[in-house]
Amino acid sequence: MTAIVIRDLGVSFNGRSVLRGLNLDVAAGGPTVLLGRSGSGKTTLLRAINRLNECLPGCATTGSVRLRLDGALVEAYGPGIRPESLRTRVGMVFQTPNPLPVDIAGNIALPLALAQGLPKAEIHVRVESSLREAGLWDEVKDRLDAPACSLSGGQQQRLCLARALAARPEVLLLDEPTASLDYQASRGIEDLLLELAPRYTLLVVSHSLTQARRLGRDVLVLRAGAALEAVDRATLADPERFSRLMDELF
């Protein structure tokens, strides 16, 4: 089943084009991994899906982005779609962990209270369930009132993932989620994403072909913001073809 359908997408900032005429179908589940040179528009593409580009000055978006939400394809830029509500359904995790300057529990509870107005009992349930789903509960359950900044880098990234999961999204966008982490923490995040894939649609930007080979059910290369090319499993598995692709991209 297709979860994201993008047609003729264009994004520019103050007249400078970043994405042009882009078409993309993303299957439910995943992960789908998106590769490309620096500056090819990968992050802009992610932000177009949950309308985060609109938070940046001079942004203009054209084309269509449809998302499967509650079983139906919904036009993300359609009338009556509030960006703030859309972003709870289409969560995003960034390259560098960005915990809120509050305690561990508050990182999850505060957005649920402010953005969704949930009652305290429901927030309490979601704090625990999202931390469990992010594989962090056993590590923090006895210090939920500790500052989030006291966590390690890998724990902070899992906390940010838990914060996104607590909103009960259907799609997760991940912009190089392991780029700032060491090898062990990176592998932990990768294993977690594979566990989440049966329950969420995952679109992951990566700069690592090795990670794409480990993680991606589908792997795509974005070229100069205008074309997407699928990378077959044979290329990822063949050392010589894999090396040529790595030289081409990086």
Which 3 state secondary structure label does DSSP give 29?
coil
Q: What is the pLDDT of residues 44-77, one digit of tens each?
A: 999 999 999 999 999 999 999 999 999 999 999 9
Which pTM does this prediction carry?
0.93
How many CA atoms does the CB half-sphere of 142 hold within 13 Å?
2
**40 has pLDDT over 80:** yes
| DSSP symbols for 48-101 | HHTTGGGGSTTEEEEEEEEEEETTEEEETTSTT--HHHHHHHEEEE-SS----S
pLDDT score of 235: 78
Residue 79, CA distances (Å) to 7, 46, 47, 82 in order: 18, 21, 19, 8
Give the CATH architecture of domain 2-249: 3-Layer(aba) Sandwich (3.40)
**Residues across the chain:** 250
Summarize the confidence of residues 7-23 as an average pLDDT. Answer: 97
pLDDT score of 237: 76
Tell me 230's DSSP state.
E
pLDDT score of 210: 84
**250 has pLDDT over 70:** no
Structure tokens at 115: 């953005």
Q: What is the pLDDT of residues 190-236, one digit of tens each?
A: 999 999 999 999 999 998 888 888 999 999 999 999 999 898 877 77
pLDDT score of 245: 73
pLDDT grade, residue 238 (50/70/90)? confident
d(CA 29, CA 138): 26
pLDDT score of 233: 78
pLDDT score of 209: 81
Q: What is the pLDDT of residues 120-174, one digit of tens each?
A: 999 999 999 999 999 999 999 999 999 999 999 999 999 999 999 999 999 999 9
For strand 16-27 and strand 2-13, is the pairing parallel, antiparallel, or unpaired?
antiparallel
